[in-house]
């Protein structure tokens, strides 16, 4: 499985967990998108620094080739899935610990 396929799968799984399994509905909240805008800015800066200096390199066969701030689009997808997944789980665990 390529990095592209993994990143897309991770996004879909995170969305399913947020909207249906955990029912945290973060994707429908303005506060999530505001928080994510801050996070993605730092992610782009970090990705740019790592990839433009060849500290992290990607095989052209594993990515689709679209780059943003020198990093592959797949990094943004994977980062989005991680942020959404962690925050959804954090909210879910916080709610269940209050019961």
pLDDT tens for 8-62 read: 999 999 999 999 999 999 999 999 999 999 999 999 999 999 998 999 998 888 8
How many structural domains compose the chain? 1
Question: Which residue has better confidence, 38 or 97?
Answer: 38
The secondary structure element, H or E, covering residue 67 is strand 67-68
Domain that holds residue 17: 3-97
Indicate the DSSP class of residue 60: T
pLDDT value for 90: 93
Q: Say yes or no to pLDDT of 97 above 90.
A: no
């Amino acid at each position: 499985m390529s990095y592209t396929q993994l990143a897309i799968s991770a996004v879909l799984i995170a969305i399913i967990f947020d909207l249906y399994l955990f029912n945290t509905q973060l994707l429908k909240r303005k506060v999530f998108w505001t928080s994510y805008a801050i996070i993605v800015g730092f992610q782009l800066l970090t990705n740019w620094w790592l990839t433009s200096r060849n500290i992290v390199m990607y095989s052209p066969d594993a990515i689709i080739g679209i780059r943003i701030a020198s990093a592959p689009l797949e990094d943004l997808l994977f980062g989005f899935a991680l942020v959404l997944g962690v925050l959804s789980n954090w909210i879910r665990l916080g709610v269940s610990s209050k019961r």
